[in-house]
Amino acid sequence: MTDDTARRPRILCVGAYERDNFGDLLFQIITAQYLGDADVVYAAPFAADMTDLIGLEIPTYGPLLESEAFDAIWTVGGEVGGTSVDYAFRTRHDKEATRVYDAATPEERREMIAAEFGAVPMESPYIPRPSAYPKNVRAALVLNSVGLAGIRGLGSIRRAGMLGLLHEATRITVRDSAASRFLAAEGIEHRLEPDLVHSIAITRPRPADAVPGDYVLLQASTTHVKRYGIKAFAQAIIDSDVLRDHPVRLFTAGTAPGHDSFEQYEQIRDLVLRADPSRRLEISRTIDPWERVDEIAGAKLWIGSSLHGRIISAAYGVPRVSFAKRKVDDYVRTWDADMPWRIDHTQMNEAAAQALAMPADDRGQELGRRAHENILSVVEHVKEWAATGGPADRVEEVLAIRNAQWSRMTLEIARAEAARAAAEAAPATPSAPAAPVGFARRVRRRLGRVVRRVRGR
């Protein structure tokens, strides 16, 4: 290794790019553009071959953190606060593996996770805890462009654990005001800035002579299509004057389990064309991230449930409409509330006409500049941390955080056990499901092991 290589920050970047989800793939691609001179490993909760989409073999980060030291651990973005281990497993693995997992007991599930992830239990799929790994207890923990408001809905014990984890972070940038208010109420230092993907128009600007297309992009997740019903969604397309006047492409913002479905789109297309064979409706089959970006950037109008479809539209000044979805609503409310949002399929035509009638906006340019400046400052934070090794009392600081978390979780466990005892004493009274005492005991043992390992390093 040369001296120049030795001086480069060594960074473990963690994200949900082990599957085809448009926004998460862009988080990896765009973050890499800003970390060009660093020694970076891109990893995820579960390994995957992503060479076809982003040119990388993605390793599992658990064994890496156990065996190697990093200057920084960087969560590259996304809705990571309330994401569960079960969700991460199901969206990465095929139907057969998921079927086996769903049929397994809790202990068997833990064994399945450990077989892939390693000896240290996975607390949060996309936010590793530095203090759980003695070789990385001094590493900076960076969370950039994240959504964390989902922590509010967690059970009391897991919520306490996640808050303790966030207190270990050295730099947090959230992307919506709901997350910012939540962190402020918990006394967690952070910044509120636009999503990293807004910077795409700076790092990959559209040619000055580019001519917008006449097509409309229409995207809806499997959840939205099921909620509306395939026939009702197809009928909304049939009834739309706007969608009759322009070519329409059904667009996928990710084909991983639980995202978008070519099969659903084929059913919708067939219903529309059966009702009106003259309609110009096709399915966009590309899953290449850059081709998806260019397709949005060149569109007449974007309509969809994807947050990053909305963000890329804003970055390139494309009129946009968003279906109702909590994380999209939170984000749009914070940064981009002028164009229509929080609609359902019955409002699609009216919202599309409204968006097309609005004057061209340059909001995306300002949001892109802020996102660009924010990630430059995050990179500088990591470089400074790598150069100095962080504060001299970092280990003591982390132990103090863990001890405070232990106290908080012990209190939550005691409350849960008291509630269980009260429920058992009054069985006729309707009550919420009892707290998982087995989980509470495992939490106590895990925290004890971690503190002993860190103190013994």
Cα–Cα distance for residue pair 234/225, rounded to 1 Å? 10
Strands 56-58 and 48-50: antiparallel
Crossing angle, helix 230-239 and helix 262-275, to 10 degrees? 50
Cα–Cα distance for residue pair 83/114, rounded to 1 Å? 18
Sign of torsion, CA 381 386 392 394? positive
pLDDT value for 429 = 53
- The HSE-up count of residue 31 (CA atoms within 13 Å, CB side) is 29
Buried b (16+ CB within 10 A) or exposed e, 266-300: ebbbebbbeeeeebebeebeebebeebbbbbbbbb
pLDDT value for 453 = 57
Q: Which residues pair with 74 in a beta bridge?
A: 13, 142
DSSP secondary structure string, 13-52? EE-S-SS-BHHHHHHHHHHHHH-TTSEEEEEBSS-EEEHH
Cα–Cα distance for residue pair 417/435, rounded to 1 Å? 7
Contacting residues for 422 by C-beta, under 8 A, at least 6 apart:
none
pLDDT value for 15 = 98
> How many residues appear in the chain?
457
Q: ∠ CA 197-201-203 to the nearest 5 degrees? A: 85
Query: Coil, strand or helix: which one is 56?
Result: strand
Q: Which residues pair with 174 in a beta bridge?
A: 146, 192
Model pTM score: 0.88
Cα–Cα distance for residue pair 322/317, rounded to 1 Å? 15
C-beta separation of 15 from 78 below 8 A: yes
Cα–Cα distance for residue pair 358/336, rounded to 1 Å? 13
Residue 417's CB is within 10 A of a number of other CB atoms, namely 14
Cα–Cα distance for residue pair 184/405, rounded to 1 Å? 18
Rounded mean pLDDT for each run of 10 residues along the chain, 457 residues in total? 62 96 97 95 97 97 98 97 94 94 95 95 94 94 97 90 92 97 95 98 88 95 96 98 98 93 98 97 97 96 98 97 97 98 98 96 93 98 94 82 72 76 71 49 56 53
Cα of 207 vs its chain's centroid, Å: 30
pLDDT value for 448 = 59
